[in-house]
Structure 1
Amino acid sequence: MDPKRELTSVDLAALVAEFGAYEGAKVDKAYLYGDDLVRLKMRDFDRGRVELLLEVGEVKRAHTVAPERVPDAPGRPPQFAMMLRNRLSGADFAGVEQYEFDRILEFVFEREDGTTRIIVELFGQGNVAVTDGEYEVIDSLETVRLKSRTVVPGSRYEFPESRINPLTVSREAFDREMEDSDTDVVRTLATQLNFGGLYAEEVCTRAGVEKAMDIEDADEDVYDRLYGAIERLALDLRNGNFEPRLYVDDGDDENGDDSEDDESGADEGPAPVVDATPFPLEEHVELASEPYDSFLAALDDYFHRLELAEEEEPDPTDQRPDFDEQIAKHERIIEQQEGAIEGFEREADELRDQAELLYAEYGLVDEILSTVRQAREQDRPWDEIEERFEEGAERGIEAAEAVVGVDGSEGIVTVSVDGERIELVAQQGVEQNADRLYTEAKRVEEKKEGALAAIEDTREELEEIVDRRDRWEAEDAETDEADEADEEEGEDRDWLSESSVPIRENEPWFDRFRWFHTSDGYLVIGGRNADQNEELVKKYLEPGDKVLHTQAHGGPVTVLKATDPSEASSSDIELPESSIEEAAQFAVSYASVWKDGRYAGDVYAVDSDQVTKTPESGEYLEKGGFAIRGDRTYYDDTPVGVAVGIQCEPYTRVIGGPPSAIEGQAATTIELEPGRYAQADAAKRLYRRFRERFEDESFVRKIASPDRIQHFMPPGGSRIAEE
C-alpha cells in the first residue's frame, strides 16, 4: 500500500477541531521554503512554542510539528515570507475553518490593524493565498486564472465551486445523489458524495454494504445503512470523538505471519508508515497501528517518518556527518532548555506571589472559603453557591465580587485578588491553600534544577560534536590537494545526478546589483534602479572600464569591469570584444526593450573617462543619469537573450545573464525570451524545472528559491525559450 501524501477532507475536518486548542497563540515569524512550504512560528500561553507547517507541493499537509523537527530557517527570506512577517508579527491566531467539505483550510489571524486570512488549498497543484479581512488577495504562491475562478493579487479570492458536503447532506439529497449515479455504490460515495476512495470504502464497510454493488441493486435498506454510517462518522467529527492511529506496513501476510520463523536476526529497520487517521478504520484492520493522544501528534510523526523513509540511506564509509545540522540542533535544544528554565523561574515566582497575596488579603479570602464550607455543610449544591456569589457581587459585596468562578466537579473556587487569579481548594483554609502554593513553587524549582543539569549535559554533547568536526576537517585537509589536482585535470562532475550537492555559499559585494561574469571572466554589473545607476558611476567606475547603455530610454547603467575594486585600476587593459558583446546583450536584455516584448535593440559603449555626472551649461541630469563626452561605439540590433542557471562550483548559487556566458559556468541553465508570464510566475516555473533536473531536490530548495531566481530575470513578462 502506497503511503498517504495528501490529507483527506475527513482529516481536515478533524484537524479543525484540534487546531481550536491553539486559538490565542501569537505569531512570531513566518518562513517560506522553496515555493510550497510555509512555516509559522507561534507562542502559546499554555504550550510555549508552536510550529505550524503548511505544505502544498507533492506532499500536501497542514499540522503542528515538534520544534526540534522544523527545518532550519532559509538564509534569505523571500518576498512572500517578508510579506507574511509584516502582516502577522504579533498577531493572534483566531481560528481555522474548513471550506465546505473541500480540501481547503482558512486560518484567521487578528491584529489591531486588521485581519489576515491564510487560505491553504490542499488539492490539485496546491496553493497558499494571503488575503485581508475582506478576502482581497495580498499575495499567493501561485496565481490562478481559470474560467471558473481567479486567485490574483489585488482581486477578491474566489473559492472553488461548492460541492455537496456528505457530513451535512439531508436524507432526501443523499437519496437523489445516489439515484442519479450510473456506477457502483463505492464510486458513487467517492465522487457524487465527495468522500474520496478511502472513506467511501470505509463507509461501505461500516454499513455492511458490498462495495461493488451496482447502484441499481441498492434498495431502501442499503440507503438506510449507508446514511446511518455517514451520520455516525459526522457525529464523531463534530464531537471530537477521536482515537488517532498511525498505521504501518509491518510485512505481515493475511494469516498474520510476522516472520517469527526468520532466525536470521537481521534488523530491517522500522516498518514503513502508510497512513495516519483521526480514528481507527475498518479498511486498515490488516495493518499494524500505533495509538496517539491527538491527531496533530499522529500527523507530525507520520510525515516525519515518511520523510526519513524517503531519504536515501547514506553510505557510512564516505558520508561526512552533518556536523552543522547536529550543532544547530544542540544549540536549538539549549535555547529551548534556557527558555524552560526561565519559565520555571517565572512560574515559581508567580506561585509564591499568589501565596503571599492570600496572607495579605487573609480576611477576604477566609470569608470566601468559610462561606463555601458552610454552604456545603448545609448540602447546598455548587450551582446554588455560584448563584449566591453572583447575587452578592451585584449588591456590591466585596467578597462576592472577588469570586470569578466556581468549579463544583473539582471543588475549586477561583478568586481575583489584586488582579491576580488564584485557584482555591474550597475545603481547605487560607493557610492550607497558601502552603499548597508554596509546595507547588518548590516543586517547580526542582524542575528548574533538573533542567539546569540537562542543559549542562547538552553543552557537553555540543562540545564533543565540535571536537569531532574539527578532527574530521583536519583529516579532510590532508586530501584537499589531491582533490584540487583532480579538478585541474578537468574531471567534470555530473552535479545533476549527485544525491547530495555540498553547499558553498558566497555573497560577493556586487550581489545587490544585476551582474554576471563574461565568458572571458570579466565582471559586468548593472543598476536595478536610479539610485544604483548613480552609485555605479560615482563609486565603482574605474579607468579601463567600459560603460554600455541602450538607445532606448529606461535602461540600466552597465559597467564592464577591467579590474576588481580591490585591485589597482588600469587603463592599459584591452577588454576582449566577446566580453563587450556579451555586456551589450546584458544591457539590452535588462532594459525596456525586453519589457516591451521586443527581441533586439541598439546599444552603445564608451570608455569610463567619457562618462561624467557634470552637465553642460543649461543641461539637467536626473538621478541615475549621466552625460557622455566623445564618440560612441554602437552595437545595432543587439539581440536580447537571458539564461538563468544554477552554479555548483566554485560556489553554489543562482546566476543569470547572456546564454553564451552562463552556459559555461552553470551545471544547468534555462534560456528565456520575452513572453506572457509575469516575472514572479515565470520564476516559479523555472524553480520547478530546476527541481526536476537535480537528483538532490533539497539543494535546489536551499539555494534557488523563486525569489532568488527572479533576482536574475529581466523586468516584464518572460517565457521559457523551448516551450
Structure 2
Amino acid sequence: MSSLDISVIAAELDMTIKDSRISNIYQLNEKTLLLKLRDVKGIVKNLLIRAGWGLHITSYAFEKPIKPPDFCMALRKYLRNGRVKKIQQYDFERIVELTVETKAGEYRLVIELFGDGNIILLDPEDKILHALTYKRMRDRNIIRGERFRYPPSRGKDPRTIRRGDLEEIRSDDVEVVRSIARILGIGGKYAEEILARAGIEKNRLSSTLKDEDLDLIYESLRSLLSESSVDNEKPSIIVDEKDRFIDVAPVEMRKYSNLKSVEFESFNQALDEFYARLFAKERISEVDATFKQQLARLERILEEQKKTLERSKRLAETYRRIGETIYLHLNEIQFLMQRIMDEKRSGKSWGEIAETLMREKKESRVPAIYFEGLNSKTMTLQISLEDLVFDLDLRVSAQKNAAKYYEMAKKAEKRAKGAEKALEQTRMKIEELNLKMLKQAGEESRLPPKMRRREWYEKFRWFHSSEGFLVLGGRDKTQNEILIKRYMEPSDLVFHADITGAPFVLLKAGDKQPLEKTLYETAQFAASYSRAWREGLGSVDVYWVHPDQVSKSPPSGEYLSKGAFMIYGSRNYIRNVPLEIAIGLVKRNEDLQIIGGPPQAIANQTRIFVRIVPGNESSGRLAKRIRDLLAKMLPAEDRDKLRKISLDEIQRFIPSGRGAIRK
C-alpha cells in the first residue's frame, strides 16, 4: 500500500473501529495479525494487519493456528480487552498507529508498511515492549526497552505542498515520474496517475518541464488528494481482459482508463477483496516452495537409489562372471595356486615367487601368464583372465574361490532387488507428492470462506432446545449484566448453577410452557458453562427462578459487583446435573454451521456431533480433533466446506477453554 492508500484506509478505519474493544489477537503467519474487535454495538469486526503490506477489516474467515506464537501472546497480554482510542497514519508515511487504552495506560501498536515491514508494541512511555522483528539500523534501532524512533521522512507531505515546492522537480535529470515519486513520497502508481491527469509523458526528463507543466502537475495533485478523501472517494479494483485483479485504488484512475474496474462502497471493501486473492496466490507460492523442496529431496534420493541399483547389478554380473571364469580355467588356476603355496613351503619368499612368475609371464607361459600380483598380508593372488582382474584366496581351493564369488553375486543381486523396490517406492512418493501438490494448490487458490452473518443472540452463549426454545447464557460478567438488564423478559426462566462463578442463563419461553426435558437441557447448559467445568467436576446442582425474583438491589450495606444479581424467594432445584456438551454440524442453505449445547438438544437437530466433558486438552487442539471427527461423519462432498470453517467457530462452544472428548 502507498502512503495515499494508507491515508484513506486509516481514516476509514478510525471511523469504523474507534472505541471498539479488542476481544482477541491471532497471528496467522509470520507477518500477519488478526485483531478480533467488538464495536460499541457488540458487532464483531476482524482487523487484518500485514506488516509490509497493509491493513483492513476483513469479511473472510482465516484459519487460526492452534498455538499462538510468543509475539501474539505478548500482544494479548497488553492489549486484550483494551479500547481502540484512535487509528491514524503517522505524517504521510507508510506507518499506521493503533492507540489502545487499557487499565494500565495507553499502548501504541506501530504498524510499519514499508520494506519488509514490522509491528511494534510501545508502552505508555513510548518504549519498545515487543516487536515482530528486532534490528539495529544506521538511523534507529528496534530494540526492546529502547525509546521508539520513527524512520527518516521519505519525502514532502503532498497534503501541505505548495506550487513553489515543485520547482525542485526540474533540478532532477531523471524521468519525471521518478522525480515526483521521490519528492512527494507518494509511490510510483500515484506519480503515474498525476502525470496521466496532467497529460505529461511519464518518461519525459524532469529538467525539460516548463512552468505550465508544473502548474498542471500541481492541479493534478490537488484533484487526486481531494478525490481520495473519505467523503469523495470512488474505490475500485482494476481488472484486465481476463478479469484478473491488477490493482486497487480509492479513486478513479486515469492511468487505467483502458481497463475495466469493479466499484465498491468503501476502500476497505475493495482492499478486502483484492488482498484475499493476493493472499491466495501467496499461499500457492508457499505451497509450491514447500512441495518443491520436498520434491528435490525425493529426487536426490531417487538418483542415489538409481546409482545403488546400477552398482549392485554391475557387481552381481562381475562376480558371477568371475565365478564362471574360475570354473572354465579351474585346473590352470588350481595348478598356479598350488605351485605358489608349494614354493612358499619350500622356503622361498613371496618376493622371489612373484619375481619368478613375472619372468614366466613375459615368456607367455601358462598359467603364469595370468599372474598380476601377490599380497602376503591377505594371502591373496591377483590374476587377470578374460578381461577380468580379481583376487583368489590362497588358503582355500580354486573351487571354493568360485563358490565365494557366486555367493557374492547372489548378495549383490539381493541388494539390487532391494534397491529396485526402494526406487519404485520413491517413484510412487514423487507421484503422490505431485498429485498432492496439484490438489493443495487447487485448495489454496480458493478464497477463504466469507464469515457467516451472525444472529443477534450469537454474541452470547446459546442453543435451541429440543422443543425449539432459545436459551442464552452470559460469556462473562459484562454479558451477564447485559443479559439480565436488557434481554430478560417476564415470561423467561432464569437458570444458575449452584456454584460461584457461573453465568446467568435465560430460557426464552415466550407464551409457551417448556416441558421438563427443556428445563433439564437448560440446566445442563448452565452447569457445563459454569466454573464447575474448569474445576473438573462431574456434576453440579442447578436452580431456576422467575425474572421477578432477580434483582440488582443488594441488602442494606452490601454491594453487588458487575454481573452479580440477588435472587429472592424460593429456588427450583435440579440436582446432580452432569457436565457435558455436544458440538455438531447442521446444514443451512447449503452452508454448514457449527452448533453446540446439551447433547439431547443437539441430537434433536443433527446426527453429526461430538460429545465433550471436562478435561485438560486445550481448546485449540480439542477443536481440531472435533473437526476431524465431524469430517469423518460427513459425506465426501461436504468435507471441504467443513475444512473452511475456522476452528474458532468450534472453540466458541468449548467451556472454559479446555475439555476432553467423551469416550
Shorter-chain TM-score bucket reads 0.3 to 0.5
TM-score (normalizing by structure 1): 0.42
TM-score (normalizing by structure 2): 0.46
